[in-house]
């Protein structure tokens, strides 16, 4: 089975047509199987992320034919194209730099609680949001996140404009950062001040982008529009420019 692997390193991009050798007659390999075999055979220093091989750790997301997919649980077909996620800057081959997202959340994660009784049940929605494995598939097509890159993708910055430095944390948010903030808001231990702060943070990160947006989709099926974006927009009504 032939699969195209996009590699980028040391300043050069190359697309390698990799021939996957099936290990069992009826094997339907996942994208990660292809990458592992490539690394074990003809491309020993191929760079890609993975961890659990079981859709739990959230680090193996790549673009398959232009759409973000969790590599360890996405089957590939003849002629598929495996490339790094387009929404974050590439470090090497299929590895993108992720930390600009986490760093933007520094200082925004407090719930204000102190000395509360911890024996309180959380509502279902809290657990629904906790299902997020931080795969960043939801960054795809998000206009708020795109603001970090002059409205486009990190790979196509307008001439003369510098990439934002991920080490400083991105200025503008994304569905994941909104999820983290909404999760704080629905935590039963969060104080009112904590809830307000979370909302203020969502606005600061660019919640207004959501107003006219067609919406985002979660890679593992969390209802981002219903349980995150919609809720935040409702709470922020009147507060958005």
Partner 1 sequence: MSDLGQYLVTEQAHLAMSNKRTVSGKYFAVNGKNVRMAVKTEWRDYDVIVVGSGGAGSQAAHAAAEEGARVLVVSKDPIGCSDTKISEGIATVRESGAEGDTEDALSENLRVAGGDLPVEAITNAFAEDSKQAYDRYRMLGLRPSIDTKRDTPQALPLPMGGHNKRRSVGHKNSGVAFSHANWNAVVQSDQIEYLEDAWFLELVTEDVADAEGAPQKRIVGGLLYDAARGLLVAVRAPSVVIAAGGLSTLYFPKTDTMRGNTGDSYAVAARAGADLVDMEQVQFLPFCLASPPAYEGLLCGEPMTASFLGVLRDKAGKVILDGVYLRTRAECSAAIMRAVEAGRGSPNGGAYLDMTANKQKPLSGPYFMRFLQGSLPSAYRNARQALGKVAAKCEEPWEVRPSAHYMMGGIRVDENGRSVGGAGAGEVANGITGLYAAGQAMGGVFGANRLGSTSLTEGAVFGARAGKAAAKGAAETTTKIDDAAFAPLIKQTAKCFGQKGTIAAAALKRELQHDAWDYIGPVRTAERIEKIDAKIKEWSGKLDQVAIPAYGTWNQAFIEFAELRNMLETAKLVTVAARERDGSLGGHVRLDCGEISAFSQPYSTIVNQDESGVPQVFRVERPRTPIKRLIAYKAQENWRKVQIKMLRMLPSAMQDKQLEKRYQAIMGVGGPAPEIMPGGVDGAIAEATKA
Considering only residues 151 through 190, tell me which ones interact with ligand FES, judged by CB under 6 A: none
Contacts with partner 1 by CB under 8 A: the residue count is: 79
CB neighbour list of residue 46: distance below 8 Å, 6 or more residues apart: 5, 7, 35, 38, 39, 93, 94
Cα–Cα nearest to 80, from 153, 20, 140, 155 = 20
Other CB atoms within 10 A of residue 98 CB: 19
Structural tokens at position 196: 């307000």
Binding mask 126-165 for ligand SF4 (x = CB under 6 A): ------xxxxxxx---xxx---------------------
Stretch that binds ligand FES, among 35-43, 44-52, 163-171, 203-211 (CB under 6 A): 44-52
To partner 1, the closest distance from the beta carbon of 32 in angstroms equals 7
To ligand SF4, the closest distance from the beta carbon of 143 in angstroms equals 5
Give the whole-angstrom CA distance, residue 101 versus residue 88: 9
Structural tokens at position 103: 């760093």
The dihedral built from the CA positions of residue 187, 192, 195 and 201, taken in this order, carries a sign that is negative
Q: Is 57 in the site for ligand FES (CB under 6 A)?
A: yes
To partner 1, the closest distance from the beta carbon of 114 in angstroms equals 9
- Helix (H) and strand (E) counts for the chain? 8, 7
Of residues 101-130, which lie at the interface with partner 1 (CB under 8 A)? 102-103, 105-111, 113, 118-122, 126-127, 130
Residue 87: contacted member of ligand SF4, partner 1, ligand FES, none (CB under 5 to 8 Å, by partner type): none
Cα(first)–Cα(last) distance of the chain, in Å?
A: 52
Can you give the binding site for ligand FES, defined by CB under 6 A?
A: 50-53, 55-60, 70-72
């Amino acid at each position: 089975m032939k699969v195209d692997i996009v590699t980028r390193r040391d300043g050069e991009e190359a697309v390698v047509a990799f021939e996957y050798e099936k290990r069992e007659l009826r094997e339907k390999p996942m994208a990660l199987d292809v990458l592992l075999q490539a690394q074990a055979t003809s491309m020993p220093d191929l760079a890609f992320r993975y961890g659990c091989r079981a859709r739990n750790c959230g680090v193996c997301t790549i673009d398959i034919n232009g759409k973000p997919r969790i590599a360890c649980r996405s089957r590939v077909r003849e002629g598929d194209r495996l490339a790094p996620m387009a929404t974050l800057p590439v470090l090497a081959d299929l590895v993108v730099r992720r930390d600009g997202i986490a760093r933007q959340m520094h200082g925004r994660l407090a719930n204000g609680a102190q000395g509360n009784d911890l024996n309180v049940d959380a509502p279902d929605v809290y657990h629904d949001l906790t299902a997020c494995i931080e795969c960043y598939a939801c960054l795809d097509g998000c206009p708020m996140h795109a603001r970090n890159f002059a409205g486009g993708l990190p790979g196509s910055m307008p001439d003369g404009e510098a990439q934002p430095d991920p080490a400083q944390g991105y200025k503008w948010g994304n569905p994941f950062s909104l999820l983290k903030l909404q999760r704080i808001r629905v935590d039963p231990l969060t104080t009112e001040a904590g809830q307000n702060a979370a909302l203020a943070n969502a606005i600061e990160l660019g919640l207004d982008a959501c107003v006219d947006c067609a919406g985002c989709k979660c890679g593992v099926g969390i209802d981002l529009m219903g349980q995150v974006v919609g809720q935040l927009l409702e709470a922020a009504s009147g507060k958005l420019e």
